[in-house]
Structure 1
Amino acid sequence: MAGDSRVHMDHDMEIGVTPREVKKLPKHLREPQIPTDRTHLIADPVKKPRQRYVQKDGKCNVHHGNVQETYRYLSDLFTTLVDLRWRLSFFIFTLVYVVNWLFFGLLWWLIALIRGDLLHADEEGWTPCVQNLNSFVSAFLFSIETETTIGYGYRVITEKCPEGIILLLVQAILGSIVNAMMVGCMFVKISQPKNRAETLMFSHKAVISVRDNKLCLMFRVGDLRNSHIVEASIRAKLIRSQQTKEGEFIPLNQTDINIGFDTGDDRLFLVSPLIISHEINEKSPFWEMSQAQMEKEEFEIVVILEGMVEATGMTCQARSSYLDTEVLWGYRFTPVLSLEKGFYEVDYNNFHDIYETNTPSCSAKELAARLREGQLLPQLSLLTPEPRPHNQDLATHRQHLTDKEEPQGDEEKGGETNNGSANPLEEKP
């Protein structure tokens, strides 16, 4: 023990640290531990987060590589230009105009050079093709004035130059085409409906809890703008790996999650935030999953909201996703809508807030079987008490419970309090 202390003190002095008191470790920590099944279960590493298929902001995390038929991008040149990043769009926009002006400026300079206007410009009685064009710079300026229709009036084409008239027609036509294409690309890029999707919100988490005695998967959507999304509809996909009965492995298999397609609940009137619910029934991929099984699964839920922008009439699409670690069992969303004087107010501070609620940990299949057998009738009344708050003030919640438990006067008869939901039976004489 003294030798150990001396070694630690010497080491501390070497690195310039104040000597510390060395305590002897317990015996069970100094001896090597023998791994058992129980210690193995406790020491299991936390499940690593899987790679997202769709990011939270809606961008698909997929990159296309080894594309051999790149000519297909040029066949749809307009869409290719619109899909470019802003810095590339500005660079190409500027480059196209500069190259076009330089090209036609070169042609005007060649015409003047071939005709001899550059040599005889100062001679009296000589009629040049373009007056006051005596260098390549002046030809470049004349090309800019022609295509942009500025018309300063200093340089002007004469009627005794047929080749100049033809070149003027060609430049006017091609200039109009270039203007239409480039300005159209910039306009479409600026007014892209995906910018409208930035004001559409999805909750950070999805929850699973009981609604009307049925397990439901829920998430919340909202729109921050006063201009609404017309004909809004929503759908969801379950992304997970699957192996078929024949042994084929499908890494990103897509399964549809019904969120009201058959009942029309997928059509949204998105004026205030809505809670989208998926009933876990026989057709649901979560039908046989309990809470413990779902914690072991690896999946991703992709949510797609579509509709038309009321201001422009263009179709807009917003996307988000929930990993298996972002689906919480036994929670509900905090209400965000309140009634004020003459209007409803939405509190977006509570948009992502959830609170814990009593939820059975069994699967929806087992819950439905127990309900049919009547085994959960006493327990179901426990699923709807006042929930324990998750993001609210605890003092306010306790005061609410105190006010709720005050006797009403008519609940006490003969000094006895009725705690049940039915009146006590009277004894017959």
Structure 2
Amino acid sequence: MVFGIRKRIHDHLVERRIRRTRLVTKYGRCNIEFGNVKYGNHFAFLLDFWTTFVEFRWRFVLFFFIASFTLSWFIFGLLWFWIARNNGDLTWQNPSKGHIPCVDNVYNLITAFLFSLETQTSIGYGGRAITPFCSGAVTLIIIQYLIGNIINCFMCGVILAKISIPKKRAKTITFSEMAVICPKKDFLCLMIRVANLRKTLMIGSQIYGKLLRTTIKPDGETIIMDQVNIEFVVDAGKDNLFFVCPLTLYHVIDNTSPFFEMAVDTLHKQEFELVVFLDGTTESTNSACQVRTSFIPQEIMWGYNFLPIISRNKEGKYRVNFSNFSKVVPVATAHCAYCFHNMKGHHLHTIDGIDNGEFEVIDNLEQPNMTKM
């Protein structure tokens, strides 16, 4: 029991360390911190206030929505109170019987605030109304009407922009939790599965990857987060994908691939992060979006392949079984890329003593000797 508790604590600490060291999370968020930014550069956010507001979290947008209207009502309420005071309309000023107010039934601060609210929201209850005998009041009601419309248009635009933001569409694109390495069409390939959960297509989709690692040059210079291009293809090519059903992405591990020098027993000892990008345009809104995910060495399974998930029913209709989307099966695979390409007879190698005819379905989250994510 004590051993089990220690193991769970160890797994939790490992998981937290992986989250901290991962540049891109599984859901596409970039884990990076900007330090020592000059104070003057912060004004750039104020100049580009539209993007700043759109990128705010919903809680701040709702706060600004409420605060902008309430504050404008209160400020104009003070101005209406000031006009009424200058005209002698207030109760404590004891206006005469024949006195003509600037605004009917505005005789204290509360009624001035209510008139400001009714004016800006066009409620028009009829109890309070402006009279044509004060030029300052006529000017103020025009100014408040214009400013109120500006606030309405701006806040409605921000809310609509946040609702239709492309990254929300990206949440309906999902990648497999794990990547696998196995033979495919006489090549040793690293494979990742991706699916579009909506029936609407992603037009002009492109897939590519970046391998992030720390590199030490021959002159001793250390490059942190060195980026290496990783080419991915599908059976029909790499550009303009027909993304109507789940696709399997292939990266051929040849002598130009950074995975060529890795092996089954050294893969999980490496320190790198494979970031995969999918760019495309949504068919329904015609807006471009990018989907990102990442894989660390502990999330790459050597000697496994994905289970098939596409079939046809009796009526001839295609069916996608998402219960097998991230499940894998062991396959005969060479224990290193060099063996696969250069050593005769080693391009097929059984993993964990499992024969070709005795495959067993294994969930990718239960891969032995692998940290759970």
| Alpha-carbon contact 2:276-2:293 (below 8 Å) kept | yes
Post-superposition offset of 1:109: 0.7
Q: CA–CA distance in 2 between the matches of 1:281 and 1:112?
A: 83
Q: Work out the CA distance in 1 between the residues paired with 2:349 and 2:295.
A: 31
5+ residue gaps, structure 2, are 1-9, 364-373
Amino acid in the other structure paired with 1:110: W
SS of the residue aligned with 1:292?
Answer: coil
* 1:192 and 2:165 are equivalent in the alignment: yes
| d(CA) in 1 for partners of 2:303, 2:94 | 90
Structure 1 CA distance, aligned partners of 2:270 and 2:218?
19
Secondary structure class of the residue paired with 1:268: coil
TM-fit CA distance, 1:221: 0.3
1:235-384 paired onto structure 2 within 5 Å: 235-260=208-233, 264-340=237-313, 341-363=315-337, 365-370=338-343, 375-376=344-345
Q: Is the 8 A contact 2:332 2:349 kept in 1?
A: no
Cα deviation, residue 382, structure 1:
8.9
Match of 1:390 in 2: 361
Deviation at 1:58?
Answer: 1.3
Shifted more, 118-127 versus 55-64: the winner is 118-127
1:53 equivalenced with 2:23 (yes/no): yes
- Alignment-derived partner of residue 68 in structure 2: 96
Number of residues of Structure 1 aligned to a counterpart in Structure 2: 341
State the 1:65 CA deviation: 3.1
Cα 1:277–1:116 change in 2 (3 A) is: same
Aligned counterpart, 2:143: 170
CA contact (8 A) 2:340 2:347 kept: no
TM-align CA RMSD: 2.6
Q: CA offsets per residue over residues 326-355 of structure 1, 9 Å max, x none?
A: 111111000001111131010100000000
Q: Is the 8 A contact 1:338 1:345 kept in 2?
A: yes
8 Å Cα contact 1:357-1:387 kept in structure 2 = no
- 1:64 is matched with which residue? 34
On the 8 A contact 2:190/2:250 being kept in 1, the answer is yes
Contact 2:332–2:348 under 8 Å retained in 1: no
Deviation at 1:380, TM superposition (A): 5.6
Cα drift, residue 126 of structure 1: 2.1
For residue 122 of structure 1, report the CA deviation from its aligned partner: 5.4
Q: Runs of 5+ in structure 1 lacking a partner?
A: 1-44, 393-429
Per the normalisation by structure 1, the TM-score is 0.74
- The yes-or-no answer on 1:144 pairing with 2:117 is yes
Provide the C-alpha distance between the structure 1 equivalents of 2:137 and 2:158, rounded to a whole number of angstroms: 31
Contact 1:330 1:357 in 2 (8 A): yes
Greater RCO structure (CA 8 Å; 6+ sep): 2
Choose from 125, 129, 132 the match for 2:98: 125
CA distance in 1, matches of 2:94, 2:134: 15
CA offset at residue 264 of structure 1? 4.2
- Distance across 2 between alignment mates of 1:93 and 1:246: 56
Q: 1:317 to 1:387 in 2, by over 3 A?
A: farther
2:185 aligned partner: 212
3-state DSSP of counterpart to 1:239:
strand
Counterpart-to-counterpart distance in 1, 2:327 and 2:184? 18
1:158 counterpart residue number: 131
3-state SS of paired residue (2:137):
helix
Q: Whole-Å Cα distance in 2 between the matches of residues 188 and 337 of structure 1?
A: 36
Task: Output the CA distance in 1 between the equivalents of 2:350 and 2:32.
Answer: 46
> Are the counterparts in 1 of residues 333 and 350 from structure 2 also a CA contact under 8 Å?
no
Q: Secondary structure of the equivalent of 1:70?
A: helix
CA distance in 2: counterparts of 1:281 and 1:100, whole angstroms: 65
Q: For residues 379 and 275 of structure 1, do their structure 2 counterparts lie closer, same or farther at Cα, with a shift above 3 Å needed?
A: closer
Asked whether the 8 Å contact 1:207–1:327 carries over to 2, the reply is yes
Q: TM-score, normalised by structure 2?
A: 0.84
8 Å Cα contact 2:341-2:347 kept in structure 1: no
